[in-house]
A and B are shown apart, each in its own frame.
Chain A
């Protein structure tokens, strides 16, 4: 059964078309990234899937049910963008209340609330009221509430926006470790983060689903006509580096970017079993000969380059 299925999903806000006939099918599994520029319709799509708003036309199903259906209660949860907890209750009171609504008994609800707070390292703030939390802490509490119970799908709208790097990393680790039973759909502008976490990338632009990429299979790379290596340097390269990269075995094209600090090498991959790393070895020999310090060699293109080049 598909996890999410939409067919010609359309939503307008007045005269503005926020979503324009979005059709997609997603299976349960590794996290799914939802990317796109501001105003592309990411939050609208998430809000529709959560049942916060109603579509103008089109169909959508989550685990075979329309969003908001009773069968989905507790199975679909979300980190809604900009939503705030009730300032009148402590964090533990609210999370406990949410757990009660999800069917936990009074004591189990408290334990569950503490469990999810521990996941985001906020057990010590359980008795704080939301007003006493920093922006980052409030975001982590909101992420914690989305993990109550055993949701099948968790929709996270900008989960690490506003978090310090250490906590952003902790949230990424948490998502990665929870991904077994739960499928996450993550909306973010942080492509590097999404690239690390996600298997599938959905690119929305002007309300339309313009691209759907799979990042999963390295083997798939070998079967395509053209593959890529991305070389990042610590400093700007000399002018003669680009032609020398072009002369490496199998390289068909070299694109310089980031003011000469990054090169994308396009090449014709060899079938599996042959001298698969010939190009990489040649590249490292060249860098060693020229005394060039590199920062990263990426097998393929970065998500940013995949989406925008």
Chain B
């Protein structure tokens, strides 16, 4: 059988990828669904910043409370987390590590599903290859999620500025590393949702498939761990399996765990591209 893969020239393919990503970002910010997601995001993060982060940071800023927490239990105490210079960022880090992956799953569940079932891609593949279409959509989601992370990070910096402006230089340095880490953490989630969204016929179905993937791999991993304890754990197959190791860590120390999500993203994107080239649109 002839290959129907489009092999565009690299400049044209890159230009198409950028155009498609930009269209995705515009859709993410300006359509009704995008605006609702943005409003929900701002509301939730407003509450998170003003209550848990602001309140807890005022306590954690007190060295005596930090020492008290550190001495509670030698095992359970988050020593590295308590060593962060700016408590607002430490709390932002912990909450973001769980919030943004969840948000990425929900908001990137419709990278392909609805357009595929609506056959909208048929208008696009007359004009561009499947590779730019795939990578353009994924890049668009990455840009969207990154902008959400940036906004949350900037709001946290504002909070720090209001409490103590002298902390801003240190906060900026740590914030860059935190945001970079968060971006790396969410990338495999977006890649996995790209694959599931290609298979599913709706965003809801893609989300259900994600739940299924996590349940099945977790159960299989647990069973293997029980019956074959000598075998390595399969947990690393799942995006976010390194998050527990990141929580009690420093911004620079967390980067040590970056290779796993990077490799997971690369494998998932290759699988997605392979599938994209073969499915009926």
| Residues in chain A within 8 A of chain B (CB atoms) | 47, 50-57, 59-60, 66-70, 73-74, 76-78, 80, 82-86, 88-89, 94, 97-98, 100-102, 142, 145
How many residues in B have their beta carbons less than 8 Å from beta carbons of A?
33
- Measured between beta carbons, the chain B residues less than 8 angstroms from A55 are 1-2
Complex CA gap A102/B12 in Å reads: 10
Residue among B7, B115, B281 with the highest chain A CB neighbour number at 10 A: B281
Given A83-B119, A86-B27, A88-B27, 12 new contacts (CB under 8 A): A52-B125, A54-B4, A54-B278, A57-B1, A60-B2, A68-B5, A80-B123, A86-B120, A89-B27, A94-B123, A98-B123, A101-B128
Asked if B173 is an interface residue, CB under 8 A from chain A, the answer is no
Give min CB distance, B44 to chain A, whole Å: 23
A70, B8: Cβ atoms closer than 8 Å = yes
7 sampled A-B residue pairs with Cβ under 8 A: A54-B1, A60-B2, A66-B4, A73-B126, A84-B119, A86-B27, A86-B120
A70, B6: Cβ atoms closer than 8 Å = yes
Residues in B105-137 with C-beta less than 8 Å from chain A: 115, 118-120, 122-130
B125, A68: Cβ atoms closer than 8 Å = yes
A85, B120: Cβ atoms closer than 8 Å = yes
Complex CA gap A76/B125 in Å reads: 10
Given A52-B125, A57-B1, A88-B31, A83-B7 contact (CB < 8 Å): no
Kindly count the residue-residue contacts between A and B in the assembled complex, taking CB atoms under 8 Å apart. Answer: 92
Contact of B3 (CB < 8 Å), options: A66, A73, A74: A66
Asked if B241 is an interface residue, CB under 8 A from chain A, the answer is no
A68, B23: Cβ atoms closer than 8 Å = no
B127, A74: Cβ atoms closer than 8 Å = yes
Residues in B1-41 with C-beta less than 8 Å from chain A: 1-9, 12, 16, 19, 23, 27, 31-33
Give min CB distance, A251 to chain B, whole Å: 51
- Measured between beta carbons, the chain A residues less than 8 angstroms from B127 are 73-74, 98, 101-102
- Measured between beta carbons, the chain B residues less than 8 angstroms from A60 are 2
A145, B280: Cβ atoms closer than 8 Å = no
A73, B5: Cβ atoms closer than 8 Å = no
A73, B8: Cβ atoms closer than 8 Å = yes
Q: Tell me the nearest residue of chain A to B33, going by C-beta.
A: A88
Residues in B264-281 with C-beta less than 8 Å from chain A: 278, 280-281
A101, B281: Cβ atoms closer than 8 Å = no
Complex CA gap A54/B1 in Å reads: 8
Complex CA gap A101/B13 in Å reads: 10
Q: Tell me the nearest residue of chain A to B13, going by C-beta.
A: A70
B 36-56 binary contact with A (CB < 8 Å = 1; else 0): 000000000000000000000
- Measured between beta carbons, the chain B residues less than 8 angstroms from A102 are 127
A83, B118: Cβ atoms closer than 8 Å = yes
Complex CA gap A155/B134 in Å reads: 25
Q: Tell me the nearest residue of chain B to A75, going by C-beta.
A: B126
Complex CA gap A304/B73 in Å reads: 89
